Amino acid sequence: MTTTTDATSFADGFFLLGSDLPVRRIGLGTMRLTDATGDDTQAGAQIWHAPADPSEAIALLRHAVELGVQLIDTADAYALGESEELVAAALHPYPEDLVIATKVGNVRPSPTEWVPLGNPAYLKQQVELSLRRLRVETIDLLQLHRLDPAYTIADQVGALAELREQGKVRHIGLSEVNIDELREAQLVTPIAAVQNHYNLSARDHEAVLDCSTTAGIAFIPFFPLAIGDLARPGSSIDEVAAELEATPSQVALAWLLHRATNVLPIPGTTSIAHLEQNISATRLELTEAQLQRISPSETTERGQ
């Protein structure tokens, strides 16, 4: 693992997404802003419906922007498009410096199914629907939610590239890809972002992150706070959090921000208090000794 601690990039907390969109390095993921089970809890989240009463979600989205969040991440598969509608209801007309990212390429046949579908005609249709729901003419960052093995990468990414040429998409991203898939997509069109599962306890995509860093591509780790047993009482993360008068979640986010200057975590939450905690993690400075203490060993991160 290589840890980047560029003083200027980390201190100002910004990254230039797609080389032309400056965003603060902690954004907001909207997957949790749904009525997960119908009983107002997030247990066994299915991401199938928008909240019955959207007022709290709308308030949280607006407060996030007030706090300086400039990257809002959603998807057409979250609550069958209702998540995109919720973002628009809360934030449209959007501030000029706000980047809205969405995803297409996953279908939801039932509350428990997420099925990749990369038919180029389908992808184009879903982008048209996302444009309507988000109330925009151009999507700032459109990500292919999952690659579909039934279609070539050239066909899937090429469909998004056509939409970019038409002015309907500004930048293109990928999700859950390996290095070979990223490089193959780059032969079709410039890639501005990669969104993969990554955090302190899930680091299978170290090589993809390093590749993205070298290429100047944003790396957006989803589930950035799902670190489980690493944050137990008495753990190294717990101890470092106590030293910094912070929470383990804040330390986990700070570690991601120190990991490389192109890392843009998008922690999701339904709590205003947790939102504020997450954003304040940008102010945590971890020493090299603290970084070494909380980082799993090379053998642990590779599952050996």
Q: Which CATH number belongs to the domain containing residue 74 in this structure? A: 3.20.20.100
Task: Answer yes or no: is pLDDT of 258 > 60.
Answer: yes
Asked if 282 and 251 touch (Cβ cutoff 8 Å), the reply is no
Confidence of residue 116 (pLDDT cuts 50, 70, 90): very high
29-38, 104-113, 126-135, 195-204: least confidently modelled range: 29-38
Confidence of residue 302 (pLDDT cuts 50, 70, 90): very low
Q: Write down the pLDDT at residue 83.
A: 97
Q: Write down the pLDDT at residue 105.
A: 98
Q: Write down the pLDDT at residue 136.
A: 98
pLDDT tens digits along 64-77: 999 999 999 999 99
Is there a domain that residue 194 lies in? yes
Helices and strands: H and E segment counts in the chain: 12, 11
Task: Answer yes or no: is pLDDT of 95 > 60.
Answer: yes
Asked if 46 and 2 touch (Cβ cutoff 8 Å), the reply is no
**Per-residue tokens: 14:** 């910004």
Q: Write down the pLDDT at residue 297.
A: 60
Confidence of residue 7 (pLDDT cuts 50, 70, 90): very low
Q: Mean pLDDT across the stretch 140-163? A: 98
Higher pLDDT, 42 or 15: 15
Residue 162: which domain range? 15-226+260-269
Is there a domain that residue 156 lies in? yes
Distance CA 23, CA 49 (A): 29
Is there a domain that residue 252 lies in? no
Task: Answer yes or no: is pLDDT of 43 > 50.
Answer: no
Confidence of residue 35 (pLDDT cuts 50, 70, 90): low
Is there a domain that residue 36 lies in? yes
- Burial class (CB within 10 angstroms; exposed 0-12, middle 13-18, buried 19+) of 109: exposed
**Per-residue tokens: 65:** 């922007």
Distance CA 304, CA 44 (A): 30
Among 145, 137, 152, residue whose Cα is nearest residue 116: 145
The residues near 158 (Cβ < 8 Å, ≥ 6 apart) are 120, 188, 189
Is there a domain that residue 8 lies in? no
pLDDT tens digits along 227-249: 888 899 999 999 999 999 999 99
Query: What 3-state class would DSSP assign to 19?
Result: coil
pTM comes to 0.92
Among 255, 249, 240, residue whose Cα is nearest residue 277: 249
Q: Mean pLDDT across the stretch 273-291? A: 96
- List the catalytic residues: 78
Distance CA 178, CA 207 (A): 8
* Number of Cβ atoms within 10 Å of the Cβ of 135: 16
Is there a domain that residue 233 lies in? no
The residues near 267 (Cβ < 8 Å, ≥ 6 apart) are 26, 28, 29, 224, 225, 249, 253, 278
Total domains present in the chain: 1
Q: How large a percentage of the chain has pLDDT more than 90? A: 84
Task: Answer yes or no: is pLDDT of 2 > 50.
Answer: no
Query: In which region does residue 302 sit, left (phi positive, over 0), alpha (psi from -120 to 50) or beta (all else)?
Result: alpha
Asked if 78 and 102 touch (Cβ cutoff 8 Å), the reply is no
Is there a domain that residue 277 lies in? no
Is there a domain that residue 275 lies in? no
For 50-64, b where at least 16 C-beta lie within 10 A, e where not — what string? Answer: bbeebeebbebbebb
For residue 30, give the amino acid letter. T
Q: Mean pLDDT across the stretch 215-223? A: 97
Mean pLDDT of the chain: 91
Higher pLDDT, 230 or 187: 187
For residue 47, give the amino acid letter. I
